[in-house]
Amino acid sequence: MVALWVFHLYQRRFKEAAVHKRIATLSQTAIIIGAWVAAWVFSRNNIDDIYLVAVAAVAAVIVVWQRKLILPYKTHCVRCGKPLSLPRVLSYDSNICEACQPSQRKE
């Protein structure tokens, strides 16, 4: 969970280029916190650990249901199909390689 928070802070340096992927990171963290809270509640109320399987199943259903929000990562360029570098995969919403990225300068 801490690693996800640190990664979220890393993504902030990309500002507007990584808005959706920052939201994805926060969503992943929220799911982990929810499972952690459920495990704590089960522990405090002496509920059998076998019921944590249901918590994991609910978390998996949420991830599948909201997969476009929670898992927006693509490993290949959506325009040309070339493999993306790790920073591009993890931190740029466009999922476009450097060669296909339009120029940012104004002419």
Question: Which tokens belong to 24?
Answer: 């994805």
How many domains does one find in the chain? Answer: 1
Let me know if residue 58 belongs to a domain. Answer: yes
pLDDT tens, residue by residue, 1-17: 788 878 888 888 888 88
Let me know if residue 53 belongs to a domain. Answer: yes
Let me know if residue 101 belongs to a domain. Answer: no
Angstrom distance (rounded) from CA 83 to CA 76: 4
Let me know if residue 35 belongs to a domain. Answer: yes
Inter-helix orientation angle 19-44/2-11, to 10°: 160
Residue 57 pLDDT class (50, 70, 90 cuts): very high
Inter-helix orientation angle 52-65/19-44, to 10°: 160
Let me know if residue 33 belongs to a domain. Answer: yes
Domain that holds residue 57: 2-72
Let me know if residue 83 belongs to a domain. Answer: no
Residue 105 pLDDT class (50, 70, 90 cuts): very low
DSSP track, 48-72: -GGGHHHHHHHHHHHHHHTHHHH--
Let me know if residue 44 belongs to a domain. Answer: yes
Let me know if residue 11 belongs to a domain. Answer: yes
